Amino acid sequence: MDNDKRENVRIDEHLTVSYHLLKMPHRVSSRIADISEGGVRLPVMHQFTLGTILEIEICSSELPKSIEAIGRVVWSKARKDMRFPFEVGIKFTKIDPSDYNQLRQYIRRVYKAKEAKDVGWIEGEEVL
């Protein structure tokens, strides 16, 4: 989108995520649609009202450890998918600095690799 005014780089990485309402034990798993340093977009099973607070755990074999954060639902919409009939945008409101740094490094690494692939070079290769 040309009018996209995001603060952070967003990558389309389908990492595993589990989430649950703050202070509730029941966790649900999903796959992130995209992620940035500021939040995530993910398909969910239930409709959440704006402002709902969720605890989130992001996992990947490419991460040294899982990333835990608390986030607030900033938008929600219906999808045509029986398994995950809704999609939400979640803005991180609380994340440990070490988890934030890990997420930031991961996003930058993936973004650089995709950018290099798009222009046909790999970091470390000589450009003629």
Fold of the CATH domain 10-116:
Thrombin, subunit H (2.40.10)
Query: Residue 38 contacts by C-beta under 8 Å, 6 or more apart in sequence?
Result: 6, 7, 8, 91, 92
Of the listed ranges 6-15, 56-65, 82-91, the least confidently predicted one is 6-15
Q: Does the predicted TM-score (pTM) go above 0.85?
A: no
Q: How far is 127 from 43, CA to CA, in rounded Å?
A: 40
Percent of the chain with pLDDT over 90: 44
Q: Which residue has the higher pLDDT, 36 or 15?
A: 36
Which residues, listed in sequence order, are joined to residue 34 by a DSSP beta bridge?
41
Has residue 56 got a pLDDT over 70? yes
Among candidates 89, 13, 102, 19, which has minimal Cα distance to 56? Answer: 19
Q: What is the 8-class DSSP label of residue 61? A: T
Average pLDDT along the chain: 82
Has residue 66 got a pLDDT over 60? yes
4, 29, 80 from 64: Cα distances, Å? 31, 20, 35
Q: How far is 126 from 34, CA to CA, in rounded Å?
A: 31
Catalogue the E-assigned strands of 52-112.
Answer: 53-59, 67-78, 86-95
Going from N- to C-terminal start, the domains of the chain cover: 10-116
70-126: pLDDT as tens digits: 999 999 999 998 888 999 999 999 999 999 999 999 888 888 887 766 555 444 544
Residue 9: what pLDDT? Answer: 63
